[in-house]
Chains A and B, each alone.
Chain A
Amino acid sequence: MDSTLPSGPAVRIEGLDKRYGSFHALRKVNLSVERGERIVICGPSGSGKSTLIRCINRLEEHEGGRITVLGTELNDDVGNIDGIRREVGMVFQHFNLFPHMTVLENCMIAPMIVRKRPRAEAETTARRFLAKVRIPEQAMKFPGQLSGGQQQRVAIARALCMQPQIMLFDEPTSALDPEMIAEVLDVMVTLAAEGMTMICVTHEMGFARRVADRVIFMDGGEIVEEAPPEEFFTSSRNERTRQFLSQVLGH
């Protein structure tokens, strides 16, 4: 798969359907994300946000519709799935760092065994990204010895070490204490400024205002509203959106 071809959008989702047994988690979702675009997805708990972004790298299998990532369709072809996962990085709510490896090893393992990079090169890359997320001095520690904010920054660095073209964030700050949220958001802002294609599930509305090109509101497995941040926060048309906004913004 030659993913450097710059044709078409980064992610295109058409008529996506997803069920858990009899429960309909996503209903006919359509979404297109351009290269370099920053998308923020919000919505009440259980509305299908995680399910949606987990479909993009096949952590969940979809039943209906089409998902095309970087020009490759996600179907039953095993090769396609592997190729897409290499180009799509993901950051989880609970970090999911590998506790039996040092921070540095966490960042080196995937480039080495998936991309087959030599150890020395993987280490240089890893140290570069650890510096970028501002914790170069923690490289030899184990994840369990770091604070939550530091762990999440390692998780971001780990994903970046694969040098992905798209980054997915699933509520990266929800499990953090308030004073640590800022340090993670700062890293994400820097990343956005460098032109990374980002799809973020988050309730940090300040972040959305600052970096998002588009904000998407989901409810009941559907995209209810989709607008640039200014418009989204000031003049949303939908009743459910307004109600949700008043809850998260605390009015």
Chain B
Amino acid sequence: MEMVVVAPPAPSRLEDLKRRFFATPLQALLSLISLTIMAFIVWKLLDWAVFSAVFTTTGGPEACQAAAGACWSVIAARWRIILFGLYPFEEQWRSALACVSVVVMTVLSCIPAFWTGRRIALIWGAGTGLYYVLMKGGVLGLPYVGEEAWGGLALTLFIFVTTCLIGFPLAICLALLRRSDLPWISRTTGLIIDGVRSLPLISILFTFAVVLPFALPQWLQGDKLYRVILGSALFFSAYQAEIVRGGMQGVPAGQEEAAMALGMSYWQRIGRIVLPQAMRNALPATINQFVISFKETSLVVIVGFFEILASGNAAYGTGEWRFAYVEVYAFIAFIYFIFVFSLSRYGAYLERRMAVGER
């Protein structure tokens, strides 16, 4: 917590504390209650997670189960299945490298110097391409590993990245179509967007995974993984389209008129004038949408994919580690937390920066 108390005659520590936490009886009571709750939780948590916990695998599950605290040995014993699923053991370094490439790509695209349409597209294209080559192999002397063997964190990241990669351009298209002057186009698109938004994601994933094969010709069905990614991208794009459209509404009508008066074509106006400004307006909401959709990738577990949640279930679900579910879920929660928390902090930072630095 950043607290800068600028008071000319610096009060003594005690006085300062008293003023801040015990100014009135009510304040004092509140402080005491909060302090008690905090102390209790922190102590319990520390005791469970550190002091009474077992960290080594030497004793095996039995010794671990007997301990009063957390049994982190389950992570030590099962981290590979949680992170990489059923990916072949000797090849798991590839899976790890693929995850790193996705993380690097995400970090790079958070840097303002890369915020032009072309650079972002390049970064994401290259990152995803690298991921795909690493995971799938079959080239450069890497043994082939089919999608059905992908799993764990690596699969979660893949689904997230491809969802965004397909969903984002789709969102822009949908937003442009909905904004169109042609009434039939804008109304039909509006119907699609609102329809998708009114449905829960799970029902869309289920439809794409299970129902769509009935309704598509054989040659169009593709792998179940890619169908699910398509469904998730459609869902993402319906929400993101409204965010982009909101951003476009924030661009004054005069901007497009000026571009028209200069003789620019529709695509030049959109690409050079409207979208760059609209995306800047929509940036905080966009990051928020990324955060939400990262969390929502976890739903593919329901249509039977071995992503991190499912691999976590498997990590404790079989055999001797049945009791250690809390530790496994805590580990997965921690991984999600790192990704989601840093992304949402970054979003909040951008929002603040934009609110202050409005040119």
- State the A residues within 8 Å of B (CB): 57-59, 82, 85-86, 88-90, 92, 94, 96-100, 109-110, 113-114, 142, 144-145, 155, 158-159, 162, 168
Contacts and interface: CB of A to CB of B under 8 A. Distances in A.
Given A57-B261, A158-B262, A145 B273 contact: no
A143 to B, nearest CB: 9
Given A94-B254, A100-B277, A85 B260 contact: yes
A90 B256 CA distance: 13
10 contacts: A57-B260, A57-B261, A92-B261, A94-B252, A96-B254, A98-B258, A110-B262, A113-B272, A162-B262, A168-B261
Q: Chain B interface mostly helix, strand, loop or mixed?
A: helix
A66 B258 CA distance: 24
Interface stretch (B21-29, B238-246, B263-271, B296-304): B263-271
Interface in B293-330: none
Contact of A96 (B255, B276, B280): B255
Contacts of B268: 113-114
B261 A59 contact: yes
Given A94-B252, A114-B264, 9 more contacts: A57-B261, A86-B263, A96-B252, A96-B257, A96-B258, A100-B276, A113-B264, A142-B359, A159-B261
B263 A162 contact: yes
B298 to A, nearest CB: 37
Select the residue from A89, A99, A145 with max chain B CB neighbours within 10 A: A99
A162 B260 CA distance: 13
A116 to B, nearest CB: 11
Given A59-B257, A94-B254, A100-B280, A85 B262 contact: yes
Given A158-B262, A159-B262, A145 B257 contact: no
Given A59-B257, A92-B254, A113-B268, A99 B263 contact: no
Contacts of A159: 261-262
A103 B268 CA distance: 19
Q: Which 10 A-B pairs have the closest CB atoms?
A: A96-B258, A110-B262, A90-B261, A96-B254, A85-B263, A144-B359, A86-B263, A114-B263, A100-B276, A113-B268
Contacts, number: 63
B258 A85 contact: no
A92 B258 contact: yes
Contacts of A168: 261
Contacts of B359: 99, 142, 144-145
Q: Which of B260, B262, B268, B359 counts the most chain A CB atoms within 10 A? A: B262
Contacts of B261: 57, 59, 85, 88-90, 92, 159, 168
Interface residues of B, number: 19
Contacts of A162: 262-263
B272 A59 contact: no
A113 to B, nearest CB: 5
B256 to A, nearest CB: 9
A89 B261 CA distance: 7
B27 to A, nearest CB: 45
Contact of B273 (A98, A114, A142, A144): A98
A100 B283 CA distance: 15
Contacts of B273: 98
A236 B262 CA distance: 37
B5 to A, nearest CB: 36
Interface in B7-40: none
A114 B258 contact: no
Contacts of B262: 85, 89, 109-110, 114, 158-159, 162
Nearest to A115: B263
Given A100-B280, A144-B359, A82 B257 contact: no
Nearest to B276: A100
A97 B263 CA distance: 15
Nearest to A89: B261
A102 to B, nearest CB: 12
